[in-house]
Structure formats: C-alpha cells, structure tokens
C-alpha cells in the first residue's frame, strides 16, 4: 500500500471538488491538497450541464424572488437559512467565474444575458450557449492548475473513508492504471463525488454517477438525508436518456401531446400565455411536468416511439437563427440521436431520472456530523433543494457550498497536529485486504450486469414518478436480496491495469446501498411532496412530514430511518401555485394584505 500525506483530501474533481480545492489554495497556499478523481477532471458530470446557473442579476429580480422560487419549488422541505445564504452568495460566485474567464453569453449591450428556467418566476439563469457546464468546469479546472499546492490524482477510484478517534483522517483509493492501493492520510476530507442517477435504468447521468462518495460516507455512519426525493427531468431523449436542457423551454419551446395539444394547461400550469412566454406552462417545475407526462400516458395521449411512449417538444417557431445561437448542442443531439432536427420537426421526449435531491447530511457550512468530514455538490444535502430542485440552482450550489467546504476543511486542517495516528494505517491495510479479497471470490453464477439490471428495473418500478406501498415494498425486498447477491459477484478479470470488472463490483455495492436508502426512506414517508408522489397518500402532510428523513447505515440490515427538523426562517408552508393560479393569488395578496408564502 502506498501512503500519501496531504492536509486536505478531496474525493471528486467536478464543479464542487474543484471549487473547494481553489478555495483552500487561495486561503492558505501552505496546505497540501490531494484532489482524487475517478476520471480526468474535465470528464466529470458537470461538463454535461447545458442550461445554466441561477443567480439574481436583473433589475426586475430580487433575492427575495429567488428565495421564494427555491423554497416553494422545493415544496417547503428546503432549509431556509441555507437558501438565504445560497441566493445571496450566488451572484458573487457567478461573477467570480466571469473573472476567472467563464464566457457567459451576452445581451447585445454586452451585459451578462439570462434565460428563463423552470419554476423560476423571473429569469435569472446565466448561461454560456447550451454548454454552460463545459465552460464552468473548464474555467474552474484552468484556475485550479495555477496552484502548486493542489496535487491531482486522476483516475484514482476511492473506496473508503477512514475515521480514527472520531475524526475523518483519510481516504483509500485504487490507482486504476496500476491497480495499486493508496492510503491518502489527511487532516480533513471533502467528498464531492456527485450524484447517483445510475441506480435507475433511464437517466441523464453519466456512467460514473454511481453514488460512491455517498455510500462511503454512509458506511462510516453519516446519515443520508432526504434520499426519497429523486428528480425526473421532463425532457430526455427516449432510448438514450440524453437530456434536452430546460433551456429549450426557457427559449420558448412548447410541449404537446399526440394531438398537438399543449396538455400542461390541464395540470394547474396554464393558461398558455402569449408569446414571448415567460411564465409557467412549459416553465413549470420539473416534478409537475414529469407527473403531467405520467397522466398523459395513462390517458393514451402519447406518441409511440421505438423506445416507448413520448410527448413532443416543439421548437420550430424559434427559427433556425435562434436555435443555432442559443441551442446549438440541442440541435446536434436531437439530430444525431433521434434523427429529428428541431428546426424542422418536433422532438419526442419523456421524463428521465436526472438528479438526487438527497445526499450526505451536512450543515450550512458543508460539514457532516463526523468531525473533519465535509461534503458538497450533488452528493451532499445541505438542503437548498428540498423535495424538488429548480433547474440551474445546482451549478450555483457547487460553487457556493464547494467554497464553504474548502474553507471549512482548511480551517480544520490547520488545527490538527502533524503525523499519522497508527490506527489510520491499520484501517488502510484492512481496506486494501478487502479489495484484494474480491479477486478470491468463487464464481457461483452471479454477474455485475445481472444484479445491476435487476436493481435498476426494480428502482423504476418501486421508486419512479408515482409510487405505491406495494411496489415500494417489492423493491425494498428485492434490493435486500440483491445486497446479498452482490457479495457473491466475482471479479473475473484478474489483471491489475484498468480493471473495469473490479470497479463494476465496487460501484454496484455502492449503488445497492444508495438504492436501499431511497426506497426505505420513500416507503415510510406517507405523503406526497415534490418529487415524492404516492398514489396511496396523495396529499402533502405538513403535520407529520415537514421533516428531513435521515437514513442511517445498519450493515447487512436495512437502514434505520429517523427525521430532523426543517429550518423555516420566513416562509411558512403554503400551496404551490404556478401559472394563472399563482398570478391570481399574488394579486389577491397585494390587494388584501399579507398572503405571505402564498404563490411564492
Ligand atoms: C446532462 C445534465 C445536465 C445538467 N444541466 C444542469 C444545468 O443546466 N444547470 C444546473 O444547475 N444543473 C445541471 N445539472 C446538474 C449538475 O450538472 C450536477 O448536479 C453537478 O454538475 C454535479 O457536480 P458535482 O461537482 O457535485 O459532481 P460531478 O461533476 O458529477 O463530479 C463528481 C466527481 O467525483 C468523482 N468521483 C465520483 N466517485 C468517485 C470515486 N469513487 N473515486 C474518486 N472520484 C470519484 C468523479 O470523478 C468526478 O470528478 C445537469 C446534470 C446533467 C446530468
């Protein structure tokens, strides 16, 4: 086992990990940072983000509006102190990116341009054409390489976090090109390992999004918070799951069913407003739009494609010039993967698993309950996303909480004495022995693909857009069995160099742990809120469930589910209203007094 000493070890070099690394290097160049990533940083999923990042910048907007959109969009399950901090810091972070070289798209006058986004009632999404994530990640990456104190460990697969005397002191990782096991001994650790969409069969998420970091934190006793909330994005390409950004609708694209009818008006999101449309309908929040698809499907109003039912995203009226300028990547994707050029034809789309609202339980400073361990980005749950994240809040979240995680971890590292406690190395060797032990498993007929396919199919069945007790129970039972089966999956490839068979087993173990937290948290939440919709409990129940769920690891047993309070500072739970209903309520509130929280 190789031993590397660093002050701070970071697992993940996507947007959150890079932002954290830069924050540490800027605040204290004497701190040595080990930046560990299972892929080259520019291949992290942040690169795939298309639409943009939210932050108040326009004169007609305000922090209060961004706060209200985020809190109501999250169906009041957001922690409002975290949201306040987030929306205030957002414009600063996005401007900082501009100063580091991010080429935000401009208005003709040369100002930063914005586009409307779902659930945001005023447009505030900064964008760089429809390649925003690429430009953001590139900006962070090129900034990070200026700092000598950041040492990169690309293509290292982290497997374990090490806790000694109650303090997180390191990370175990496999160097993929050699198969050697490394112990990164550190004074503090940040997990910034992204989401876990791959636990579902149909997802926008890249193949690397297997929830490894969430599982690592969970196994050392950090609860995973609000895991039942899984976001479906309404416009994925059937077959591949490739995303067509919400920017398509932000720029004016409309959704129609097989009869050419704008069906969203039937689901509390209408009426269709006149062009240029800025409110509701297609710009409703993702949970509502995905649920509307489900109902259209039940009514037989979908078009059928080789890959199942779909509705149509029509952008033809935007014209070729605008599509080429604002949505060039979308045109490319729809043409290449569906054979549909949006300039000339509507594009079939259907809901696709996109984002985990839940994740590693942290406080507002990105600190987990284990001293020395921080988490930021999609793997973490602060929580600003509650029961349903608004599009374009995530990229900004990486920056705001990535920086906070970096500053917090740097502070801890300064307080910890030099030297490696003996127990850290012992634990490292135990982890190494466990990894090597995987090669000794007998082949009893189990395979990664067999177990993984059973898991993903069952997750869609039990924890999809609409859920029932019966289907969730079947998924709970099956995931329990699959966790037993995964322990019998052999590593057939015995070589050391880029052993993807070995990674497949490790990723599958992580995905099963994560799947189990999702479905066990879901089955005990007997209400419908945001992305968690139950056919057997259709109403939101604030009395019983205005709480964050916490799933705690119990080894071979099922997770223990407990709850903690939601922080409410100024917006009391109210009905989520969009479109005409929201406007009517806002008018009534203005004429008749307070109406606080309503129609936020
Ligand atoms: C197609 C798509 C489009 C999106 N568009 C938008 C958008 O327009 N606006 C918006 O706000 N949000 C968008 N999102 C969401 C947003 O992009 C993600 O939530 C965000 O980029 C996640 O960033 P992250 O830094 O947390 O993780 P990632 O960028 O996923 O990075 C994770 C890092 O962790 C590393 N890692 C993981 N496991 C291990 C391991 N075991 N060992 C070592 N390293 C590991 C990876 O190598 C990687 O470097 C989109 C998401 C997708 C999938």
**Would the CB of 139 count as within 6 Å of ligand 1?**
no
Strands 547-552 and 254-256: unpaired
Quote the ligand 1 centre to 368 CA distance (angstroms). Answer: 20
546 lines ligand 1 (CB under 6 A): no
Q: Would the CB of 406 count as within 6 Å of ligand 1?
A: no
Instruction: Look up the CATH number of domain 234-353.
Output: 3.90.700.10
Per-residue pLDDT tens digits of the chain, which is 600 residues long: 999 999 999 999 999 999 999 999 999 999 999 999 999 999 999 999 999 999 999 999 999 999 999 999 999 999 999 999 999 999 999 999 999 999 999 999 999 999 988 888 899 999 999 999 999 999 999 999 999 999 999 999 999 999 999 999 999 999 999 999 999 999 999 999 999 999 999 999 999 999 999 999 999 999 999 999 999 999 999 999 999 998 899 889 999 999 999 999 999 888 876 655 556 789 888 999 999 999 999 999 999 999 999 999 999 999 999 999 999 999 999 999 999 999 999 999 999 999 999 999 999 999 999 999 999 999 999 999 999 999 999 999 999 999 999 999 999 999 999 988 889 999 999 999 999 999 999 999 999 999 999 999 999 999 999 999 999 999 999 999 999 999 999 999 999 999 999 999 999 999 999 999 999 999 999 999 999 999 999 999 999 999 999 999 999 999 999 999 999 999 999 998 887 787 788 788 778 654 344 333
pLDDT for 381: 98
Q: Per-residue DSSP letters for 132-198?
A: HHHHHHHHHHHHHTT-TTEEEEETEEEEEEEEETTEEEEEEEEETTT--EEEEE-SEEEE-----GG
Q: Are strands 230-236 and 347-356 parallel, antiparallel or unpaired?
A: antiparallel
pTM assigned to the model: 0.96
CA distance 462 to 476: 8
Q: CA-CA distances (angstroms) from residue 588 to 64, 272, 399, 572, 581?
A: 19, 21, 37, 18, 11
All residues at 6 or more sequence positions from 521 whose CB lies less than 8 Å from its CB, including other chains: 224, 226, 227, 228, 358, 549, 551, 559, 561
Is 138 catalytic? The answer is no
Nearest-angstrom CA–CA distance, 391 and 291: 16
| Ligand 1 atom nearest 197 alpha carbon | 53
Dig out the tokens for 211 from the structure. 């929830």
Residue 144 near ligand 1, beta carbon < 6 Å: no
For residue 250, the model assigns a pLDDT of 87
Cα of 49 from ligand 1 centre, angstroms: 8
Residue 259 Cα to ligand 1 middle (Å):
37
State the Cα angle at 455 between 449 and 460, rounded to 5°: 125
d(CA 437, CA 441): 7
- For residue 317, count other CB atoms closer than 10 A to its CB: 10
Point out the catalytic residue in the list 43, 45, 138, 233: 233
CA distance 457 to 452: 9
Give the integer Cα–Cα distance in Å for 264 and 131: 27
How far apart are alpha carbons 54 and 90 in whole angstroms? 7
Does ligand 1 have an atom closer than 6 angstroms to the CB of 392? yes
Best residue for ligand 1 mutational test, from 97, 394, 431, 503 (most atoms within 8 Å of Cβ)? 394
- For the record, the structure tokens of 137 come out as 């990640």
Give the closest residue to 390 by CA, choosing from 363, 357, 350, 352: 357
User: 356: which 2 tokens?
Assistant: 């985990």
Token code pair at residue 497 = 């160099």
| CA pair distance 130, 48, nearest whole angstrom | 10
Degrees, nearest 5: CA angle 27-35-191: 90
Q: From CA 368, how far away is CA 12, in angstroms rounded? A: 17
| Atom from ligand 1 closest to the CA of residue 205 | 53
The confidence score (pLDDT) of residue 66 equals 97
Please indicate whether residue 194, judged by its CB atom, sits closer than 6 Å to ligand 1.
Answer: yes
DSSP state of 422: H
How remote is the CA of residue 196 from the centroid of ligand 1, in Å? 9
Taking the C-alpha atoms of residue 158 and residue 460, their distance in angstroms, rounded to an integer, is 28
Return the ligand 1 atom nearest residue 158 CA.
42
Residue ranges, CATH 3.90.700.10, the chain: 234-353
Beta strands 533-534 and 380-381: pairing type? Answer: unpaired
Beta carbons of 42 and 138 less than 8 angstroms apart = yes
Does residue 55 have its Cβ closer than 6 Å to ligand 1? no
Say how far residue 389 (Cα) sits from the centre of its chain.
Answer: 9
Integer CA distances (angstroms), 75 to 121, 217, 379, in order: 15, 27, 20
37 touches ligand 1 (CB under 6 Å): yes
CA distance 96 to 252: 29
| 354 tagged catalytic | no
- Asked if 457 and 479 touch (Cβ cutoff 8 Å), the reply is no
Closest atom, ligand 1, to C-alpha of 13: 49
The torsion angles phi and psi of 48, rounded to 5 degrees, stand at -85, -10
Please give the number of the atom of ligand 1 that sits closest to the Cα of 393.
11
Cβ of 384 closer than 6 Å to ligand 1, yes or no, is no
Question: How far apart, in whole angstroms, are the C-alpha atoms of residue 398 and residue 46?
Answer: 9
Cβ neighbors of 147 (< 8 A, separation 6 or more) are: 21, 22, 25, 26, 29, 33
Q: Which whole-number Å values give the CA distances from 265 to 52, 72, 199, 275, in the listed order?
A: 26, 20, 32, 15
Residue closest to 159 by CA, chosen among 149, 173, 148 = 173
- The alpha carbon dihedral of 59, 48, 395, 549 has a sign of positive
CB of 235 closer than 6 angstroms to any ligand 1 atom: no
Report which ligand 1 atom has the smallest distance to the Cα of 39.
Answer: 47
Q: What are phi and psi of 76, to 5 degrees?
A: 65, 15
β-sheet bridge partners, residue 158: 173
pLDDT at 565: 98
Distance 163 CA to ligand 1 centre (A): 26
Ligand 1 site, residue 193, Cβ cutoff 6 A: yes
547 forms beta bridges with 565
| Distance (Å, whole) CA 556 – CA 483 | 8
Distance of alpha carbon 82 from alpha carbon 397, whole angstroms:
10
Q: What's the CA-to-centroid distance between 394 and ligand 1, angstroms?
A: 9
2-51+81-110+131-231+355-430, CATH topology level = FAD/NAD(P)-binding domain (3.50.50)
| Contact call for residues 354 and 287 (beta carbons, < 8 A) | no
The CB-side HSE value for 43 (13 A sphere, CA atoms) comes to: 10
Q: How many alpha carbons lie under 13 Å from residue 587 in its C-beta half-sphere?
A: 6
CA of 198 to the centre of ligand 1 (A): 12
Residue 177 burial (CB count, 10 A): 12
* Residue extent(s) of CATH 3.50.50.60 domains in the chain: 2-51+81-110+131-231+355-430
Fill in the DSSP letter of residue 359.
E
Measure 139 CA to ligand 1 centroid, in angstroms: 15
User: How many residues does this entry show for the chain?
Assistant: 600
Q: Determine if ligand 1 sits within 6 Å of the CB of residue 18.
A: no
């Amino acid at each position: 086992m190789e031993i590397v000493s660093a002050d701070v070890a970071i697992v993940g070099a996507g947007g959150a990990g890079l932002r954290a690394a830069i924050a540490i290097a800027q605040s204290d160049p004497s701190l040595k940072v080990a930046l560990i990533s299972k892929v080259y940083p520019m291949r992290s999923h942040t690169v795939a983000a298309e639409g943009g990042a939210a932050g108040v910048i326009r004169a007609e907007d305000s922090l209060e509006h961004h706060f209200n959109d985020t809190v109501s969009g999250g169906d009041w399950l957001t922690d409002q102190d975290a949201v306040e901090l987030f929306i205030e810091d957002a414009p600063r972070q996005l401007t900082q990116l501009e100063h580091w070289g991010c080429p935000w798209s401009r208005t003709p006058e040369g100002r930063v341009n914005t586009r409307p986004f779902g659930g945001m009632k005023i447009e505030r999404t900064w964008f760089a054409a429809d390649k925003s994530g690429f430009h953001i990640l590139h900006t962070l990456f090129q900034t990070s390489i200026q700092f000598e104190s950041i040492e990169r460990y690309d293509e290292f697969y982290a497997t374990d976090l090490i806790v000694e005397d109650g303090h997180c002191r390191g990370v175990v990782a496999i160097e993929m090109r050699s198969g050697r096991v490394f112990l990164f001994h550190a004074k503090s650790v940040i997990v910034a390992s992204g989401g876990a969409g791959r636990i579902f069969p149909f997802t926008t998420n890249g193949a690397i999004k297997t929830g490894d970091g969430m599982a690592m934190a969970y196994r050392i006793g950090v609860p995973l918070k609000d895991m039942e909330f899984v976001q479906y994005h309404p416009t994925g390409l059937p077959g591949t799951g490739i995303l067509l950004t919400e920017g398509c609708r932000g720029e004016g694209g409309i959704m129609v069913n097989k009869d050419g009818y704008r069906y969203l008006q039937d689901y509390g999101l209408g009426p269709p407003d006149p062009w240029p449309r800025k409110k509701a309908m297609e710009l409703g929040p993702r949970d509502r739009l995905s649920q509307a698809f489900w109902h259209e499907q039940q009514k037989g109003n979908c078009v059928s494609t080789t890959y199942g039912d779909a509705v149509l995203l029509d952008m033809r009226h935007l014209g070729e010039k605008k599509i080429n300028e604002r949505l060039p990547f979308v045109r490319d994707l729809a043409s290449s993967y569906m054979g549909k050029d949006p300039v000339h034809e509507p594009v079939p789309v259907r809901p696709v698993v996109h984002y985990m609202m839940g994740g590693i339980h942290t406080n507002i400073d990105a600190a987990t309950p284990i001293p020395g361990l921080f988490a930021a980005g999609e793997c973490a749950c602060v929580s600003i996303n509650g029961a349903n994240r608004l599009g374009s809040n995530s990229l900004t979240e990486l920056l705001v909480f990535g920086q906070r995680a970096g500053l917090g971890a740097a502070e801890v590292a300064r307080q910890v004495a030099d030297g490696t406690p003996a127990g850290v190395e012992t634990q490292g060797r135990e982890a190494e022995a466990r990894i090597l032990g995987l090669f000794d498993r007998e082949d009893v007929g189990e395979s990664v693909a067999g177990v993984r396919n059973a898991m993903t199919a069952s997750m869609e069945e039990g924890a999809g857009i609409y859920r029932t007790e019966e289907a969730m129970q079947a998924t709970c039972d099956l995931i329990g069995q699959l966790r037993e089966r995964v322990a019998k999956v052999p590593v057939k490839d015995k070589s050391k160099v880029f052993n993807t068979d070995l990674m497949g087993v490790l990723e599958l173990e992580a995905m099963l742990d994560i799947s189990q937290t999702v479905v066990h948290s879901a089955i005990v939440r007997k209400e419908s809120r945001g992305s968690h919709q139950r056919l057997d409990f259709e109403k939101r129940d604030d009395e019983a469930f205005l709480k964050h769920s916490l799933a705690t690891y119990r080894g071979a047993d099922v997770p223990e589910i407990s709850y903690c309070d939601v922080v409410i500072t100024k917006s009391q739970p109210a009905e989520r209203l969009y479109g005409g209903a929201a406007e009517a309520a806002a008018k009534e509130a203005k004429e008749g007094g307070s109406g606080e929280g309503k129609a936020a």
